[in-house]
A = this chain, B = another copy of it.
Amino acid sequence: MAPSVLLIGVGGVGSIAAYTLQSNGAVVTAVARSSYDVLKKDGFTIESCDYGKVENFVPSHVYKTAEEAMKEQGPFNFIVITTKNIPDVYPVEKMIESAYNKDTAIVLLENGVGIERSMFKAYPDATVISGVTMISSTLYDTTIKHVGPDNVSFGAFINPSIPKENQILKAKEFQKLYYNEFNKAKYDENVKFIRWRKLIYNGAINTTCAITNVDVGRLEMFGGMDKIVRPAMKEIFAISKADGVNLPEDIMENMIRSDDGEYYPPSMLVDIRKGQYTEYKIILGTALEIAKEKGIPTPVCSILCDLLEVIQMRTMEARNRIELPEKRPLPADNYKIEYKY
């Protein structure tokens, strides 16, 4: 029987993952929110540097919630999460509650370090696979523009409560399912290394661009790269070391130079400009939790994270997730913000 995959989040990354897995023989059941109607009607047009032009792509099955998907198509061999990871708004572990069982491996095809923590907390017997991709792919309306190859690595986040071998086997099994001649998906057991390497960029550059509302090119020309990004990067580098990862020193300079020649707007800046939530928690928040545990000082990154938290709350108000009283409460009122969903 063909392996079955539940895929949550059909955006730029998710669509390519869905197309890849389906082309490779898996049955892909997708949970889509904003793109549900498009997928139900004509599907996506994919313009891909890896796969060429694909018209009317639709996953094997499409549902609005994981609950419905589970009821009609479950259980699954894998749950692949490619949606934005915003634990302060909708925790991913909660999203898959109805579809989870211990024989279904979870694949987190997402940014950030420490993102497996909340998963293991919610599902202590879970097999959780890390997926890190350097892909550049964006959904515009009904078209996926995939311009940077899906250079992706998979490996197991090791759950100490269950046998290690099974987790490694599952990760290798998924890598095989995802691999083809176009993406050359890799198995790489150095999950932490890969994640921290990407965080050197995301934790320092992506965050600062989002706060100042300028792209990477402008950030450098306006002095922010030297004054803010470099000290922030050094802090993240120090946390990664304390977390047992030995990144090469020149990774910092390489990341700073990685968008050379381009006024590139990184993902969190794009989110801010669209009025959307940012992944600041998994991109910086969890790294700072690790820093705290290890006793690494993070004066710059902490302030960046605190500023992004305030900005996230501002977005929550704009998106009607919270509503403030008409008159500003006094401290004596002990007012607590209520979340609507």
> B307 touching A221 by the CB < 8 A rule?
no
Chain A 216-259: CB-based contact to B (< 8 A → 1; otherwise 0): 01110111100110000000000000000000000000000101
Q: What is the predominant secondary structure among interface residues of chain A facing chain B?
A: helix
| A260: Cβ under 8 A from any B Cβ | yes
> A303 touching B221 by the CB < 8 A rule?
no
| A103: Cβ under 8 A from any B Cβ | no
* Closest partner residue, chain B, to A297 (CB atom): B299
> A317 touching B223 by the CB < 8 A rule?
no
Q: Which of B212, B262, B299, B310 contacts A314 (CB 8 A)?
A: B212
> A310 touching B222 by the CB < 8 A rule?
yes
- Known A-B contacts A221-B324, A306-B224; A311 and B261 likewise in contact (beta carbons under 8 Å): no
Binds B, one of A120-128, A140-148, A185-193, A327-335: A327-335
| A213: Cβ under 8 A from any B Cβ | yes
Distance between A208 CB and nearest chain B CB, rounded to angstroms: 8
Distance between A98 CB and nearest chain B CB, rounded to angstroms: 32
Q: Which residues of B contact A261 (CB under 8 A)?
A: 327-328, 330
**Residue among A212, A219, A330, A337 having the largest count of chain B Cβ atoms under 10 Å:** A212
Chain A 125-143: CB-based contact to B (< 8 A → 1; otherwise 0): 0000000000000000000
Q: Which residues of B contact A331 (CB under 8 A)?
A: 257, 260
Q: A211-B211, A219-B310 are in contact. List 9 more A-B contacts (CB 8 A).
A: A208-B310, A211-B307, A212-B310, A218-B317, A221-B313, A221-B335, A222-B314, A223-B313, A261-B328
Chain A contacts to B: CB under 8 angstroms: 208, 211-214, 217-219, 221-224, 227-228, 257, 259-263, 299-300, 303-304, 306-307, 309-311, 313-314, 317, 324, 327-331, 335, 337
